[in-house]
Each structure stands twice: as structure tokens, then as C-alpha cells.
Amino acid sequence: MANLAKLEFAALDLSGDNYLSWVLDAKIHLRANGLRQTIVDDNDASPEENAKAMIFLLHHIHKALKSEYVVVDEPLVLWKALGERYDH
């Protein structure tokens, strides 16, 4: 299980071409690390869990997206914003 944290996948591209595979990979990783609840409505995630999820999500998006969403500090808000942008 320790190797799960070491597994990497492609960052979300600015074009969004890899959005669907990125969502799947991100959900699996968050679930494996006990953080899946951070991206669902009405969750009771702790501030620490939210911070861990934000670190993970920001590490796996294109740097231009990081700059655009720099003021977002909740994983659910970021998750929904990316979904609205790319999930068509």
C-alpha cells in the first residue's frame, strides 16, 4: 500500500483533452488515501484532509490552471470548477 502514494499520473492538461482519464485517476488516488469525501457535496472532511486533497489536486493540474485557480482553497470548489470547465 505504501507504493500507492508513489504512483503518478499525467497532470490535467490545459486543453482538457485528458480530463476524463484525469478524473478517474484522481478519484482512485483520493479514495486510496482516504480523501474521496473531500470532493463530494455536504462532506465532513477535516481541514487537514482538505489541505492534503488540495496539495494533491494542485500537483496534478497544468501550471496555467494552478495560476488561474490560485485563490481556491477548497478541493470541492476546485473539483467543481474544473468539471464545469471541461466536462461537456
Instruction: List the chain domain ranges.
Output: 11-86
Torsion, Cα of 28, 70, 49, 10 (10° steps): 20
Residue 88 has pLDDT above 90, yes or no: no
Tell me: the pLDDT tens digits for 12-71?
999 999 999 999 999 999 999 999 999 999 999 999 999 999 999 999 999 999 999 999
Q: How confident is the model at residue 26, as a pLDDT?
A: 98
61: alpha, beta or left, given left = phi > 0 and alpha = psi -120 to 50?
beta
Asked if residue 9 has pLDDT above 90, the reply is no
Alpha carbons 88 and 72: distance in angstroms, whole number: 22
